Chain A
Amino acid sequence: MNRTEELINKWLDEGLSTGETAELDAALDAQRTATRTLASLFEMELLMRALKENVDVTENVMRAVRLEAGRKAAEGRPIPGADVTVQRVPGARGRVLGGPWERSRRIRWPIAAAIAVAGLLGVMAGSYVLVRLASERAANLRPSEQKSASARVTEVKGQCLVAPISAGGFEQVSAGAELADGSVLRTGGNGSGGQLDFGGGKVGLTLAERTEATVKVGGGEPQGSWGVELRAGQVEAHIHEKGVRFEVSTAVGSARAVGTRFVVKLITDEAEKEINGVRNLAGVVMVTTVISGVVDVTGPSGTQTAVAGDRIVVSERGATGGGVKAVVGEMGEAPRATPPQRPEVTLTGKLTKEVTPAPESQLREHPEVKAFTIFTLTTDDGRKFTVMTRKPVKREDGTPSGQNVDLTPFVDQDVKIVGTVHEEPASAHVTSITSIEKLVKPGK
């Protein structure tokens, strides 16, 4: 064995030192035979490595395939190349993907609240075409008595199709229709949407446009089996009655809500596969926005608690699909959402208005954020704080949210701000403003 072959074998077996790497690379540059030897020995090595029993990828592939089928169906495209509908996924609920899961940085108050409420406003304004919550309720039923083998469509806007599990294709559904367990709902684009209720109004569910979900009503089982399997798009669950449980199963992540309202959005578009720095090969990202109450979001590595105004992004690095995990909503004593108590600080610096109001990832998901005005305060010691203002709105619990301080007169001015802040290594925000005044610095 000559020196080059020795180096090639060492490279294949254990790796080379820097000097040996340079020596081998030089030999490859100089000798045509060396490249042939390396290539054929490497091929042999790879062939032998293929002897190892490989990991069975069937389950992971099937998760991705189900999502792909759901996504295509939600877009109204056939699967794949045929005139058929998505099938119900038997036994998919509750599976947990292996591998690490990631949670984005908590979007802090008031940014999170702003985005959540803005999302809600945007939804109400028509982006997601939410329709009015159902008003009918079976008030006399106690939770333990709520047994229903169907969900009822209360409102439909635009294209809202349903495929009963026994049917071969989709057909337009009308308000009043009863949906059996396993029925697949699909909303079209252009402002389509739908509203369901479960248990005669105990749970209201809103489907945004381009959404596909399978209805679960448990075939008359006790409450707790109500829910949907979300395959694409977005739903908003509103649990109206204490003790009622409702599940939104999605491809990634798991959350348990002790509150009343939450939105789950499943992002599967290639273009959106990177969100808040969480990369996902298949572009499968679940975003849970908590509108009121508390949601515990659980992944393989633990549980994170989100309160009203927070948004939790759950993804799995490298996942090409996902088993369906549960997002459980249960109405309890919904705690009053209160922003964290922070001490007041005084900041001095220059206030500038931002041209780009928010990171691209946020704008992509929440185009309505553009309506907000975002400023940057660069303090005298060089720190940068984001200051976001908007028209204040009332949260569900009646507390005001938002800062209605008009900062426009202070743009490009040296200012003193008294208020609360939140700082992280990567970003800092002014979370509330008690007072602001122009500063006249000596010499100016």
Chain B
Amino acid sequence: MLSGEQTDSIVRRVTAGETECYADIVRTYQRSVWQTVLLAAGDLHTPEDLVQQTFVQAFRHLDQYRLGSNFRHWINRIARNIAFQELRRRAREDRRLRVYYEYLEEAADDRVSGERLEKLAAALQGCRGFLSEPASRALALRYEQAKGFEEIAGILGRTVAGTRQLLQRVRETLKKCIDDHPALA
């Protein structure tokens, strides 16, 4: 993880021709860019493309980054713009994505800003602590390990329908918790 000063130092080196140093920036900020892309573009089969595009765009315009400002916010803004374009394109054909696009658009910069994303991620981690043990396990299996409902049901010793209900309750519990989280108030 790079500090702001370290990031600025690397930006200077990259703009001075040390292209390979850019890898450190990618490694440090890709997690945040992934989150931005996933939230700003909606469900995607190939989010990697947008994440990669973000870093390539950032490289192209690295001279426009203001040293001393927040690099994470700067690159997340690029990610958000790229992902928004993708969401807008797909929203033309999908009513539910259009709803989500309008929801994000209403909030403009605020909804998918780097600062809010950091708070959201922190709030999510905090809220996970309020989940029951089975719910917490189901969440990990579904979202961290990307397992299917049937497999999760087998692991937890539940029916598939019961597992779905459990995960729906997880989603709603976390949503309420995050909505009430003081960091996001």
Q: Do A and B come from one complex?
A: yes
Enumerate chain B residues within 8 angstroms of A57, measured Cβ to Cβ.
26, 30, 48, 51-52, 55
Answer whether A82 and B96 are a contact pair too, CB < 8 Å, given A61-B55, A61-B56. no
Q: How large is the interface on A (under 10, 10 to 19, 20 to 34, 35 or more residues)?
A: 35 or more
Check if B52 sits within 8 Å of A48, measured CB to CB: no
Enumerate chain A residues within 8 angstroms of B63, measured Cβ to Cβ.
80-82
- B124 at interface by CB-CB < 8 Å: yes
Answer whether A62 and B144 are a contact pair too, CB < 8 Å, given A35-B102, A55-B48, A320-B53. no
Answer whether A48 and B15 are a contact pair too, CB < 8 Å, given A24-B96, A87-B20. no
Check if B171 sits within 8 Å of A48, measured CB to CB: yes
- B178 at interface by CB-CB < 8 Å: yes
Contact of A68 among B17, B60, B144, B149 (CB under 8 A): B60
Enumerate chain A residues within 8 angstroms of B174, measured Cβ to Cβ.
44, 48
Nearest B residue to A55, CB-CB: B48
Name B57-106 residues within 8 Å CB distance of A: 59-64, 95-96, 99-100, 102-104
Cα-based distance from A11 to B120 in the complex (angstroms): 23
Check if B56 sits within 8 Å of A64, measured CB to CB: yes
Minimum Cβ distance to chain B for residue A8 (Å): 8
Check if B143 sits within 8 Å of A48, measured CB to CB: yes
- A145 at interface by CB-CB < 8 Å: no
- B181 at interface by CB-CB < 8 Å: no
Cα-based distance from A11 to B100 in the complex (angstroms): 13
- B49 at interface by CB-CB < 8 Å: yes
Cα-based distance from A282 to B59 in the complex (angstroms): 14
Nearest B residue to A36, CB-CB: B103
Enumerate chain A residues within 8 angstroms of B100, measured Cβ to Cβ.
38-39, 42-43
Contact of B103 among A14, A35, A58 (CB under 8 A): A35
Check if A281 sits within 8 Å of B49, measured CB to CB: yes
Enumerate chain B residues within 8 angstroms of A321, measured Cβ to Cβ.
52, 56
- B35 at interface by CB-CB < 8 Å: yes
Minimum Cβ distance to chain A for residue B127 (Å): 10
Cα-based distance from A43 to B41 in the complex (angstroms): 10
Cα-based distance from A58 to B55 in the complex (angstroms): 9
Contact of B17 among A14, A53, A79 (CB under 8 A): A79
Check if B16 sits within 8 Å of A82, measured CB to CB: yes
Minimum Cβ distance to chain A for residue B63 (Å): 3
Minimum Cβ distance to chain B for residue A28 (Å): 6
Can you name 30 A-B residue pairings with CB atoms under 8 Å? A14-B164, A41-B175, A42-B42, A42-B99, A42-B100, A44-B178, A45-B171, A46-B38, A47-B35, A47-B39, A48-B124, A49-B38, A50-B38, A53-B144, A56-B30, A58-B27, A61-B55, A61-B56, A62-B26, A64-B52, A64-B55, A65-B19, A65-B56, A65-B59, A68-B56, A68-B59, A80-B62, A81-B64, A85-B17, A318-B49
| 6 smallest beta-carbon distances between A and B, as pairs | A84-B17, A81-B63, A39-B103, A61-B55, A320-B52, A54-B34
